[in-house]
Each structure stands twice: as C-alpha cells, then as structure tokens.
Chain A
Amino acid sequence: MKIGVLALQGAVKEHLKMIENAGAEAIVIKTSDQCDEIDGIIIPGGESTTIGRLMKLYGFIEKLNEFSKQRKPIFGTCAGMILLAKEVVGKSENHLGLMDMKVARNAFGRQRESFEANLPIKGLESPLRAVFIRAPLIEEVGSGVEVLSEYNGKIVAARQGHLLAASFHPELTDDFRLHSYFINMVKQFSLVK
C-alpha cells in the first residue's frame, strides 16, 4: 500500500517519516499524474494560499476531485484541512471543496498564540500531543461529518467517510497513531473496491 504526501510546499518530510514508522510505503507527490500510483494522500501543513495556488497551477484540483470520487482517502492537516473544506470563512472561493465543513483560518491568533496540548481523539485510546501552529478550526460541519475531537469546545478534527481533517500537526511529534488511523482508513477503502 502506498501513501502519497503532496509536496508543493510545507512539512513534507515529517509526514513521510510518520507513514513509514506506521508501516506503509510513503511517496513524494510533485505532479498530478503521480496520484494514479497511490492509495491515499496526505495534504500537509504549510501555507494554504501557497499550496492552493500551486495545486491549481499543476492540475491537482481536478485530479484530487477524481481521486476522492474513487473513494481513495485524503488526510489534510492544518493548511491541508483548509484546502479540503467546502467553505473557508472570509473567502468566496474554496480550494478542493471536498469536505462538508466551514473552516476559519488562523483561528487561534498569530504565532505567539500557537501552542501544544494533550488532545483526546475519538478512536485513539489516550490523548495525542497536538501541536497547533497558527491553526485553523472547524466552525461548522455537515450532517455526514463525524467530529473526532474538540479543544475548548471548538472542533479540531473530523472525518467524512474517506476524508480526514485535523487543525493541528500530528507529524511534529513521534506519536504516529493518527497516521496509523489514516492508514487503516486507506486499507478499508481499498478492500471495499
């Protein structure tokens, strides 16, 4: 099983390492054609305006929409979550628009307000050390979206079938349980097919 990490900008290496530690093969994705070789993809943290612009330029918007139609799992962390969302507060356009949720960017404030905290997540036995960097949050979710985690009453992780989103950076610690969770999703959806 091969998991890709979209490598246009942002924290790519960290995700590659986590995927490998969790026991799957990790691939750097630089062109949209490469999406045909993989069973699931992670859209990493970085700057959503930068990654979004490059995705559009290199045909990733159409390609990942097709990828999602085939029910291949996509996991967006931080900027990746913004790119997955159907609605972004204050923006008239979305990027991929795949997940039925409304997200707010830089919702916790500027860098000096960035933080780490222990976060309980549905499906994980004990809390995960979650690193929030100029993080977005989910303001609203549609009926098909399951909330996986809240921090101070705000939604910070959610799942909609084969789509997974987190406001924080699970790739910045050594704890790869959320990556294992995603890899299990990829396994399940490849069995269904």
Chain B
Amino acid sequence: METGTPRVKRGMADMQKGGVIMDVMNAEQAKIAEAAGASAVMALERVPSDIRAAGGVARMADPTVMEEVMKVVSIPVMAKSRIGHFVEAKMLEAMGVDYIDESEVLTPADEVFHIQKEEFTVPFVCGARDLGEALRRIGEGASMIRTKGEPGTGNIVEAVRHMRMMVSQIRKVQNMSKDELMTEAKNLGAPYELILQVHESGKLPVVNFAAGGVATPADAALMMHLGSDGVFVGSGIFKSDNPEKFAKAIVEATTHYTDYELLVKVSKDLGTPMKGIEISKLDKSERMQERGW
C-alpha cells in the first residue's frame, strides 16, 4: 500500500473535474456550498476581495476555521498557504486538509523559491499565467494547476488571458518538431521532460482549473469553453446578494456550459453579483498575479 503517490495526488484532482470549488469563511457557508453542489470548498479567513480591501500581510487562516469547516462537510476541504511558506503547508497537512493551494492571494513568504511540493503526502494546487509557470509548479510537485486570473476583482479578463495563453502554448509545443523542444523549454523556463510530455499528449499532465475573477454563471461557462477542467469561485459567491442561488447557478453552468437556454434560466433574478474592479485601475503592486514566478 502506498500513500501520496503522484497517481493518488493527481487522481484526487481528476475527481474534481467539471466541478466548482468555492471559497468559504465559516461552517455555515461551507454547508451552503456543499448543499448547492460544490465539489470542494476552500476554507479561508477572508475572501480575496476582503484581503484586497484590508491590505497588509495576508497569512494562512486560523486553524479553527479549517477545523470547523472540515467538521461539517463531507466534500474535500482545501486551504491556502503563502507562496514558499512550507511550514504553513506542513501545518495544513497535519490538520488533515485535503488539498493545499500555494496561493498568490496571500502575501508571499519567499520571493525566490516556491514550496518543494513533491515530498508532501497531501496534493497541491498552484496558480499559473502561462505554460512555463504551470510546468515549473508541476516540476516542483503540484498535482493541479489553476489560472491566476486577478483574484478578488470579479473581473474575468485575466483568467481568460491566462487560459488562452496556456492553451495556445500547449498547441504550439504539440505541433513543434522534437528538435525544437529543448529551445522551447529554455524559452518557457520549463523542465524539458515536462515539455516532452506536453508535446506527446497535447495537454497538461495535471488537471487545469479556472480561477481569479469568476463572478457569474456565464463567466464559469466561458472558462469551461476555453478548456478549463472546472472552476474556483472565490469572492463571487459569498459577496453576491443571494449566495445559495448564486452557488447553485454556477454549478449548473459549469456542468452544462454549452446549453445556452439553461444558462439563461439559471442566470435569471440572481440579484447583484459582486462589484467588480477594472484591472487597469489596479496599481501594479496591487496585482496578485505578479506574485510568484
């Protein structure tokens, strides 16, 4: 019997496909998310839009939040550690959290090195803006990738940019001749072996979700069309007028993203979605996606 193998860790992400992973801040929200059909919850002290508003250093949440959430739901519970903060990650593993997000939403603890994730039994998800970044994280042991998008903005434009970039770079690598791959690995800053895998399979070696700016059912469906395996919704649900209805609508939109009549039906009378932020109004220092490399 073996635990924590790449197959077990990546397989866990495979089971999330077609699903919606929702940010929750307490047990009550976790129960609403589970009942609405979330495939997992991300337990946090504050959602990204509040972190953005509060400013200062954002760290791993108080363990009480994760423990409370784990107690009340049977779906997987994820939690965030700061980039490079392997002690926070080890604490999350010790708590029994099911998946760790080494996340740019929190203030990075290390500006040079990400966590060496391979040695953990618990799997990791990491954000990426392009293929090179995705493969670097996978090289360190990430078992799931998500777009970085621009968290807490309710603006889908960055997630779209990152997903389109990854898909187009994957297509390019797939169509290259083998003798071009080493140079491409150098240009992308990605491990050669992983570039070779992408060349042969035409896809990332792990599941790839959309995250960072998903605010409506239509946003979720758009990301599925662009090639996402599923979606993370951060501030979008519990910052909307009617979280329960909103959560259910996003779950249905993710499953039936090509059924436009259904998308119309679930989008009706949802109330006000979270207030969005235009990305160009954000100072470069306020852009979370620039964190990590």
Contacts and interface: CB of A to CB of B under 8 A. Distances in A.
- Which of B4, B11, B17, B40 has its CB near the most chain A CB atoms (within 10 A)? B11
B98 A110 contact: yes
B1 A115 contact: yes
A7 B18 contact: yes
Contacts of A53: 35-37, 251
A9 B17 contact: yes
Given A110-B96, A173-B7, A105 B39 contact: no
Interface residues of B, number: 38
Interface string B175-197: 00000000000000000000000
Interface in A104-136: 105-106, 109-117, 131-134
B17 A116 contact: no
Nearest to A173: B7
Contacts of A7: 18
A173 B5 CA distance: 13
Interface stretch (A10-18, A32-40, A155-163, A176-184): A10-18
Contacts of A134: 12, 15, 76, 98
A50 B93 CA distance: 25
Interface in A71-129: 78-79, 105-106, 109-117
A116 B7 contact: yes
Range, interface on chain A: 35 or more
A107 to B, nearest CB: 11
B10 to A, nearest CB: 8
A9 B18 contact: yes
A111 B98 contact: yes
Contacts of B96: 109-110, 112
B267 interface: no
Interface in B25-46: 34-40
A112 B4 contact: yes
Interface in B215-230: none
B75 interface: yes
